[in-house]
Structure 1
Amino acid sequence: MSATPGPRILVFAGSTRRGSHNTHLARLAAERLERHGARVTRIDLKDYPLPLYDGDLEAAEGLPPQARRLQALLAEHQGLLIASPEYNGFPTPLLKNTLDWMTRPDGERSGLALFADKVAAVVSASPGALGGMRSLGLTRQLLGNLGVMVLPNPLALPRAAQAFGEDGDLEEAAVRQRLDSLCHRLVSTLSRLHPIDDASGESP
C-alpha cells in the first residue's frame, strides 16, 4: 500500500435494518478499501432520515437539511461503494429515495452535477440463491443515469445468513477474494483518474 494519501470513498448500505447483511458487507468492504489505501467515510442512512420525495414539499420547504449533508459528503469524495439489498427484485425504496433527494438542486448548485465523474462499486447480500443480482443491475443502471461510472463485475452474495463466519468475515475464501479484488479495482481506478498531489494530499 502506498504512503501517498489515497482517494476518498463514501461507503453505505441501502438498508437501515438492525443486523442487515448489507450493512455488514459494507463494513467489510470499507475495511478492504482502507487496506488498499483509500480514505473511507462509512455512513448509516439511519442518521440521514429523509421524507419520501415530494415535489410540492421541495417547492414549499426547499431541500431537507439531511439531503444537504449528504450532498456535502458526496462533494468531498471521488468514489462510492454501495451495498444494495434486494426487495422483490429491485433496489430498496430507501436507496432510491436517498439518491433522488441528493440529485435535487440547492440554490445555484446542481445536485446531479455532484455525481458527475464519480466512480462506484456495488455489492449486494441476500438470503436467496441469487445474492441480490437482480437489484444490482438496476442499481448500476440508476447510478449510470446519474453520470457515475460503475465498475463491472459487482459482488452478489447469496445465502447471506450463512455467508459470514464467527469472526465476522466472509466464510468462503473465494468470496473474500472477489470482494478484495473489487475494492482494489475501485481504489486503483480512482487513483488513476484522481491522482493525489503529494504536497497537499488532495486531488489537483
Structure 2
Amino acid sequence: MNQSPRLLAFAGSLRKDSYNRQLAAAAAQMARQAGAEVIEVNLRDYPLPVFDEDVEAAGVPQKVAELKDLFSTADGLLIASPEYNGSVTAALKNLIDWVSRPDASYGRAELFQGRRAALFATSPGGLGGMRGLNHLRDILQPLGTWITPTMLAVPGSMNVFNEEGEMIDEAMAAQLQTVVLQTLNAIALEKATA
C-alpha cells in the first residue's frame, strides 16, 4: 500500500489574521481531501533569531531543530508567501536560511533537496503577490526544491475570504486546487519511480 504524501503547509506571515495564513489553510484542506497528510505550521510558534553564524556556532536553537525535524518528515511544501516590498518576508527568508544550514543531523540544503513545493500568495493589491513568488522560487530552486509549474497569485484578498477565513472565491479556489494537485501528482510520480 502506498504511503500518503506528507506535506507541511505554512505562510510567511506572522500576523494573526493574515490572508496568506488563510490561503495556506485552504490549500492544506484541499491536500487532505486529496489524501495527503498535512501539518500546518504557524511561524509564530517558531520564533527564530535572525540567522547569525555566531549564534549557530553556539548551538542550533531549539526551535530551529524542531523545524528541521518537521521538514525531514515532509515530501512537499505548501507555502503562502506574502509580498513585502516586492519580495519575500523576513520571517520566511530567515526560516529558509536556518533550515538550509548543515548541522550534526542534516547536510546543507538537505531538507529542501528533492522536496516538491507549491507556491502561492494573496494580497489586497492587483498583482496578488506575484513579485514575491518569483523571488521565493529563485531562493528555493538552487536549494534543490522542485516548484510546481503554476504559481498562484490571488489579488484582492479582502474579497476572496469571508469573515471566518474561508475561501469563497470559487474560481480562485479552483486555481489553488490545481497548484496543490500538481504538487501531489509530482510526489506520487517520484514515489512510483523511486
TMscore range, shorter length: over 0.9
Q: Report the equivalent of 1:190.
A: 187
Q: Report the equivalent of 1:134.
A: 131
2-side partners of 1:168 and 1:107: how far apart? 40
Per-residue CA shift, 1:130-182, capped at 9, x if unaligned?
Answer: 00000000111111021100112111111111211356432322111101111
Q: Report the equivalent of 1:65.
A: 62
SS of the equivalent of 2:153 reads strand
Q: Report the equivalent of 1:35.
A: 33
TM-score (normalised: structure 1): 0.89
| Larger Rg computed on CA atoms | 1
2-side partners of 1:179 and 1:136: how far apart? 14
Detail structure 1 runs of 4+ shifted over 6 Å in the superposition.
none
Gaps of 5+ in 2: none
Paired amino acid for 2:151: P
Aligned-pair distance for 1:191?
1.1
Alignment of 1:151-190 (within 5 A): 151-165=148-162, 168-190=165-187
Aligned-pair distance for 1:188?
1.4
Aligned-pair distance for 1:67?
0.9
1-side partners of 2:148 and 2:165: how far apart? 26
Aligned-pair distance for 1:4?
4.9
Paired amino acid for 2:14: T
Contact 2:25 2:40 in 1 (8 A): yes
Structure 1 range deviating more: 49-58 or 126-135: 49-58
RMSD: 1.8
CA 1:40 to 1:17, structure 2 compared with 1: closer, same or farther past 3 Å? same
Give percent identity, aligned residues only.
40
Alignment of 1:88-127 (within 5 A): 88-107=85-104, 109-127=106-124
Contact 1:13 1:22 in 2 (8 A): yes
Aligned-pair distance for 1:108?
5.5
Kindly indicate whether residue 27 of structure 2 is the aligned counterpart of residue 19 of structure 1: no
Gaps of 5+ in 1: 197-203
Per-residue CA shift, 1:40-76, capped at 9, x if unaligned?
Answer: 11110111111001112212x1211111111111111
Per-residue CA shift, 1:17-55, capped at 9, x if unaligned?
Answer: 010000000000000001111111111011111100111
Aligned residues between the structures: 194
CA 1:58 to 1:170, structure 2 compared with 1: closer, same or farther past 3 Å? same
TM-score (normalised: structure 2): 0.94
